[in-house]
Amino acid sequence: MSIEDLRGEVERLRRRESELLAEVARLRAGREPHAPSTASEAGVGTLRPDLLFTAADKTRMAMIVTDPNLPDNPIVFANRAFLELSGYAAEELIGRNCRFLQGPETDPAHVARIRDAIAARRDVVVELLNYRRDGSPFVNELYVSPVFGPHGELLFFFGSQLDLTRFREQEGNAVRRGASFRSLLEDGEAGFCIIEMRFDGEGRAEDYRFVEVNAAFERQSGLANAEGRWMRELEPELERHWFDTYGEVARTGRDARFRGAASRLGRVFDVHAVRIGSQAQNRVAVLFEDATVRQEGEERREARDRDNLVERDLVWRTSRDLLVVCGLDGSIRAVGPAWAETLGWPAGSLIGVRIDSLVHADDQEAASRAFEMLRAGLPLSDLDVRFRTADGGHRWISWNAIPQGDRFHATGRDVTERRALEEQLRQSQKMEAVGQLTGGVAHDFNNLLTVIKSSTDLLKRPSLSEERRSRYVDAISDTVDRAAKLTSQLLAFARRQALRPTVFDAAQSVAAIADMVRTLTGARIRVETDTDAGQDADGERLPCHVDADPSQFDTALVNLVVNARDAMQGEGRLRIAVRRVDRIPTLRSHPAVPGDFVAVSVSDTGGGIEPDLLERIFEPFFTTKGVGHGTGLGLSQVFGFAKQSGGDVAVDSEVGAGTTFTLFLPRSADGSAREPARDDPGPLPEGHGTPVLVVEDNVEVGAFATQALGELGYQAVWVKDAQAALAEIEASGQRFEVVFSDVVMPGMNGVDLAREIRRRWPYLPVVLTSGYSHVLAFEGTDGFPLLGKPYSVADLSRALRKALRERLALTFG
């Protein structure tokens, strides 16, 4: 409401006020037949002011009543609106002249006008600067009006007050805002106009006139010279909805935001319309922008979205893959129809079910890792797990999934038949490998046995010289060593070798055998080593500690070097590098393994390996070398050692460009290297009658061990199993000073026997012996010394001597 409207309202209230006062005077004259003769009789106190004060107290206009017939023209009444305006209570105002509301800044001329008007008994309107009770000023438009009795006597003065302060502040703010707003509109890209609506006799908008337009108006609307003209004049065929919308804004004062098309103008507009001024002015401010291009783009996007939705719906309904949408907690939100066909689950029955509840118990760990990846925002690919069917069976499903917000979308494909075929293929390959292994072992052992058999036959000749006899004995001994090496390679490949792990620095080991590697490769192959794994925060070299069997590590490294040498045909460049890595990459269809590893790589510049051979190079006895140039067990030993040590081996090769083998071993958390324990090198010439209990289930080996110990001067007692050994020790009164036991026996194995002896007779040492044992491969020796088969008499002597010395140390300190 503008200030002009407010002043009109004030005039209306004042007219009503005069009417009420006149009615009060008329009623008074009817009740009192004579006119007042004194000032006190004419005072307000002699009237019944009920109607006057009640009406004045309810109006929002601030009002006071003063009595000119009393000394100093005191205030005799103030309505609630005046009390709220001034902040005073009624008892603080009644009886006081209204001059106390004025301050020193009040214009004396205005005060004089009021005084003159009161003296002349006439109306007066002035603006005064008054002060509220809290001292804050306000501009007051005061309208003073005298009230007369029926005989012309002056009864009192009625004063109405209008606080102009807030209206003037609003007007100033409006002016400032208008200037800023207008500047913004003039400089902006959006079109702006103020229109004035015209309504017909039925109140329907029939046209509007452009009162004001900004500089962008013509550019946005396409209408030139619009200011001051009517819309029907500019565009007679404009759609009806424009007039109805703007008319509604002008009538109701409710803003309108909409997108409207002007077909005759060939444009689409985004519009914001707001009523301005009073309702009687029928004016609307319109801010608009040409949205034709945007509309066309949105329509194209909507069309594409509709097409995409149709396509996705078709894929969802027709795909034979298992489609599913899950929350990150694993709860199923939507599934495709293929679930019913593949697994027998009706689609609706799975909503809200946790998807991992359908996974086979043996695959739960893999499923949990997959969930962690998805929650971390990483995609999932090629996860094969078994899913439960509605009839209680299981089928292999290969999953791919992508996280999106608080959910993930997954696609599963039934690979049960493929897995079955792969398993059949693996079994076939295993059988083929077993056949190759059997044939290769038979071939190599027949060669070794031929040497042994020939040597023994020649030793039987009576006329054999001592020199030849010694030569044939050495041949038998060397052949046995070669056979032992062959079985060691077989056990390493099968991951059944009893490894003796210790913590050592792989980088230092590589550096230590560098000279030997150069001897193996020859002068025409340039050998490079890189054992620098970086530095720590203190500038110290980072170690590459691993917990593995150092002798097997050296053997694996030599096998890789020999393999590289042969691939380069004796000439080229060989590089050995050691570094620390945080994962084993994806190898042979196995997923990547995160962790802390040491990687030892051997790279050559040879001819490379054909892609179709890469999957076979770790098979036992498989080799691309010519006859007589390798057994095909070198890479098998590397593979078996890596797997048994908790690592793996990778191969990268390019035909014509060379090959790199990388051995991955878990890095040890123990920061210090330990030297492997060394056996006492000195043999025991005589046993001096030391009693030894031999536990061996093999008759030939047991008899040989007993005979060998007798030759060494021991008193050997031989039993064939662990129970008999315990009974013999118990019955002998603990006369045995050492026990020499095989590991693989029926019933209780040798390791368990040794534990039981240690429990019952803590000071009785036990020496174990074995050529192969799954017990040793997976459990170790539990701290007991182990003599590997085949062993020599000298090896047996050393093992027993060391055990007896340790017993003496424990017994006597």
CB count within 10 Å of CB 672 equals 9
Does 305 fall in a domain? no
- What are the CA-CA distances from residue 328 to residues 322, 376, 797 (Å)? 18, 10, 66
Tokens 């070798």, residue located: 497
Closest-CA residue to 127 (of 113, 137, 141, 117): 141
Provide the token pair at 484. 């032992």
pLDDT value at residue 27: 46
- CATH number of the domain bearing residue 741: 3.40.50.2300
What's the start-to-end Cα distance of the chain, in Å?
111
pLDDT value at residue 457: 67
> pLDDT tens across 181-213, in order?
555 556 567 888 999 999 998 889 999 999 989
Q: Tell me what percent of the residues of the chain surpass a pLDDT of 70.
A: 75
Average pLDDT over residues 347-360: 86
pLDDT value at residue 510: 84
pLDDT of 34 > 50? The answer is no
> pLDDT tens across 599-625, in order?
999 999 988 888 877 777 777 656 655
Which residues are CB-contacts of 750 (< 8 A; sequence separation ≥ 6)? Answer: 695, 722, 741, 742, 743, 744, 768, 769, 770, 775
Domain boundary among 397, 414, 431: 414
pLDDT band per the 50, 70, 90 thresholds, residue 446: low
pLDDT of 686 > 50? The answer is yes
- CATH number of the domain bearing residue 626: 3.30.565.10
Tokens 């056990």, residue located: 491
Indicate whether 327 and 447 sit together in one domain.
Answer: no
Does 677 fall in a domain? no
Question: How far, in Å, CA of 434 to CA of 428, rounded?
Answer: 10
Kindly give the pairing relationship between strand 525-530 and strand 502-505: unpaired
Average pLDDT over residues 102-128: 80
> pLDDT tens across 385-422, in order?
999 998 889 999 999 999 988 889 898 888 888 888 87
Q: Give the chain's domain count.
A: 6
Does 326 fall in a domain? yes
Average pLDDT over residues 689-706: 86
3-state class (DSSP) for residue 198: strand
pLDDT value at residue 140: 75
Q: Radius of gyration (Cα) for the chain, nearest Å?
A: 55
3-31 helix and 165-187 helix, angle to the nearest 10 degrees:
160
pLDDT value at residue 492: 54
Q: Tell me what percent of the residues of the chain surpass a pLDDT of 90.
A: 13
The answer to whether the CB of 743 falls within 8 A of the CB of 752 is no
pLDDT of 541 > 90? The answer is no
Between 15-29, 181-195, 221-235, the lowest mean confidence (pLDDT) is in 15-29
Q: Percentages helix, strand, coil for the chain, rounded to the nearest 5?
A: 45, 25, 30
> pLDDT tens across 78-99, in order?
888 888 888 888 888 888 888 8
Which residues are CB-contacts of 92 (< 8 A; sequence separation ≥ 6)? Answer: 133
Average pLDDT over residues 17-29: 53
> pLDDT tens across 755-782, in order?
999 899 888 899 988 876 555 544 556 6
Question: How far, in Å, CA of 221 to CA of 354, rounded?
Answer: 57
Does 309 fall in a domain? no
Q: Which of 17-21, 55-59, 144-148, 524-528 has the highest mean pLDDT?
A: 524-528
Indicate whether 13 and 134 sit together in one domain.
Answer: yes
> pLDDT tens across 454-501, in order?
667 667 777 777 887 787 777 777 777 777 766 665 665 554 555 567
CA 706-708-714 angle, 5° bins: 70
Indicate whether 16 and 127 sit together in one domain.
Answer: yes
Indicate whether 349 and 453 sit together in one domain.
Answer: no
Which run of H or of E encompasses 740? strand 738-742
Does 515 fall in a domain? yes
Four-residue CA torsion sign, 759, 760, 765, 767: negative
Q: Which of 31-35, 697-701, 726-730, 806-810 has the highest mean pLDDT?
A: 726-730
b vs e for 573-586, b when ≥16 Cβ sit within 10 Å of the residue's Cβ?
ebbbbbbbeeebee
- What are the CA-CA distances from residue 430 to residues 421, 434, 491, 758 (Å)? 14, 6, 16, 41
Indicate whether 376 and 432 sit together in one domain.
Answer: no
pLDDT band per the 50, 70, 90 thresholds, residue 48: very low
Closest-CA residue to 769 (of 785, 746, 792): 785
Provide the token pair at 197. 């609506």
Four-residue CA torsion sign, 407, 410, 416, 420: negative
- What are the CA-CA distances from residue 573 to residues 519, 533, 536, 545 (Å)? 14, 21, 31, 27
pLDDT value at residue 386: 92
Residue 75 CA, distance from chain mean position: 77
pLDDT value at residue 537: 65
DSSP collapsed to 3 states, 128-143: EEEECCCCCEEEEEEE
Question: How far, in Å, CA of 136 to CA of 771, rounded?
Answer: 109
pLDDT value at residue 41: 35
Average pLDDT over residues 118-131: 81
The answer to whether the CB of 179 falls within 8 A of the CB of 202 is no
Indicate whether 631 and 698 sit together in one domain.
Answer: no
Indicate whether 445 and 536 sit together in one domain.
Answer: no
Question: Looking at the DSSP assignment, which residues form a beta bridge with residue 324?
Answer: 335, 410
Domain boundary among 295, 329, 348: 295
The answer to whether the CB of 530 falls within 8 A of the CB of 507 is no
Max Cα-Cα span within the chain: 183
Average pLDDT over residues 789-809: 79
DSSP collapsed to 3 states, 509-522: HHHHCHHHHHHHHC
Does 61 fall in a domain? yes
Strand order in the sheet with 715-719: 715-719, 691-695, 738-742, 766-770, 786-788
Indicate whether 45 and 152 sit together in one domain.
Answer: yes
Closest-CA residue to 652 (of 621, 620, 609): 609
Indicate whether 616 and 737 sit together in one domain.
Answer: no
Closest-CA residue to 395 (of 330, 322, 326, 323): 322
Between 447-456, 575-584, 640-649, 676-685, the lowest mean confidence (pLDDT) is in 676-685
Provide the token pair at 93. 């105002």
- CATH number of the domain bearing residue 33: 3.30.450.20
Indicate whether 543 and 424 sit together in one domain.
Answer: no
pLDDT of 232 > 70? The answer is yes
Closest-CA residue to 156 (of 17, 273, 280): 17
Indicate whether 10 and 156 sit together in one domain.
Answer: yes
Does 177 fall in a domain? no
pLDDT value at residue 42: 36
pLDDT band per the 50, 70, 90 thresholds, residue 171: low
3-state class (DSSP) for residue 69: coil
The answer to whether the CB of 329 falls within 8 A of the CB of 355 is no
Domain boundary among 632, 666, 700: 666
Indicate whether 518 and 396 sit together in one domain.
Answer: no
pLDDT value at residue 522: 75
pLDDT band per the 50, 70, 90 thresholds, residue 250: very high
DSSP, residue by residue, 566-584:
HHTTT-EEEEEEEEEEEEE
Does 174 fall in a domain? no
- Give the residue numbers spanning the domain of 277: 188-295
